[in-house]
Structure 1
Amino acid sequence: MTREELAKKTREELLSLARKLKIKNRSRMKKDELIESLNLVFKQNQTTAEAHAKAAAEKKTPEPVYTTGLSPQTYPPPPGEEPRFPLPSSYNETSITLLIRDPFWLYTYWDFSREVKENLEKMFGDWQRTPLSLRVWEEQESGGMEPGFFNVPVNPVTGHWYLNVQPNRRYTVELGYIAPSGEFVALARSNTVVTPRATVSEVIDEEWMLVEEDFRRLYQLAGDPQAGSVELAESLLKRLEREMGSGAVSSISSPFGPPPEERQFWLVLNTELILYGATEPSASLTVDGQPVPLRPDGTFTLRMALPDGRKRIPVTARSQDGKDAITIIPEVTKETY
């Protein structure tokens, strides 16, 4: 409060302020003396507040600065967001990596160093005209056949490719180019992978086998075996047959002794057809007239029941703009005897 503001107040108001500020001998002071004392106290309080603010500012922890290292000018991220670090388009290393997608498809991706890319541009005049190629080496997992290879030409613009292969094979891929002399020149070699089998596994997990003693214990939970009904036992057998298949049920005997002659052995057989393939991720796909969704990479898989007889299954892929369409019609025949 300034001296001018204090001068406008009455002596009683000044005494009240002096009482709050605990000024001594206030009751003996005249109005001018009260104004002088109050003004001095206000100045002292203001000086103390400014000193505290300055000290607090000097002790304040500086704000952290987040940077990606890509630019000398850096800024902290917005509140509530984590800093983002963009991935480089190239790591300046000539390499190739091979991955397994399923028994019939591999996925590979690669990169070039600046030096190798510049040398290829000088050799062929234009990077997009460089005759890049993948040499795919193949051998049986058991080593039963001599290693062979096949070449897959690839576009220099892309950095990845899908390879159609065979199950239960060992594969290694070399990244290179076709020299003017027609010779394949390798620039990098990938890791080696083994494609899985495309058949039912030969491994039987004993943890899931149902033996006769386990079945008897299961049946006892439903009641006294001597007082239970044969219908209940047959119902359990049929349920196990549906859920586990006839291979497990055929070894289970009835807790009441041998079942009737005509029910000693069961065999149930069904077949399914699995369709899989790939197309452009932006395309639309129909199988036998029904739309089928594509994965983000353009691949698809479809399981169908396969009854007896001959069946034609048209598979059509149509481009996003509708100008291009490709139809493949596999014909499948099943005969059961």
Structure 2
Amino acid sequence: MTASTLKSYTCKDLAQMARSEGITGWHSMRKDELVAALVRAKRKSQGKGAVKSAVTKKLQQRPTASPERLRVQREISRVQQESAERKNLSCTSEGRPEPQKDRIVVLVRDPYWLHVCWEITPQSVERARSVLGQDWHGSAPTLRLIRVLDGGGGRLERCIEIHGGVSNWYVDVSDPPNSYRVEIGYRATGGEFYCLARSNTVTTPVPGSADVVDNNWTDVAENADRIYAMSGGYSADGASMELQELLEERLRRRLGRPSEIRYGVGAAGDSRDGDELRLAVDAELVVYGSSDPNTHVTVSGEPVAVSPDGSFAVKVHFPDRRQVIPIVASSADGVEQKTIILGVERNTKLLDPVVKDTVAARS
């Protein structure tokens, strides 16, 4: 509606139209002012309508996502979720309860392998995310293997990148015997390390013939006492509480010294009718070594089987006295021969028995 058309209306009609358009102050306006106000209101209304129409048209023209684009978006979401799960150390196997505290325990499996077990709470992972800040995205879950030195200090051996969804890791070590501890946390791309938990200290044993004769031992349930002992459970300092708690929770039985768990209060009810406790001990000596393949080896004059790699091991009687054991290796053609004399002595002593007061132990 133009200004000339509006001028053909009476002042009363224009006032009514201004009132309908919501123009403020219409009741005090003259006719020319009402016409000008109505023209401005009409232009403003037309402008809003044009903008709304343009937006509606643009939305209608927006192309819908193609099936391929949707597939790519789903794949990106899946990869992002998997990456987050692999970084989250609080994510463990299904069926396991959520951990209540942070702990990491190292078990000695043999002279060259450590078994590392851990539990990390989601709250600790969130704290690591906050502390690392922008470095979080480039960080990686990491185990730090530290060799414990004689003075009590430590030297970083290496960093081992791990991932979420698991709660244990096998770590190979060299040059036994040595003492180790392990730290678990997140290592940023710049080398900064945020530690979540530190393990107990363990010492690997001297390599021995048991590794050959027993063909190693791998089942924790069947060898828990041996693992506990090799990890410091029966040492003078004792094992860490985390180590004992972890094994007892997994095996659902107590671990400790026999005087603490086997012959304590629970054994008081087992009557032996005054019979004397029996204890008999004997010993065997394991002689092991290595030579060139295809050599002929004897121990105390008895031939010993030599493995393809040249290693050999044999058990010999170990009486309660001093003895000399010759080990002789001869080349396959019989031209060369080497001899090593092994001098050993066994001295067995029977100590006086000790009788404990079970009533005092119960109290």
TM-score, scaled to structure 2? 0.32
Which of the pair has the greater relative contact order for Cα pairs under 8 Å at 6+ separation? Answer: 2
TM-score, scaled to structure 1? 0.34
Larger helix fraction of residues: 2
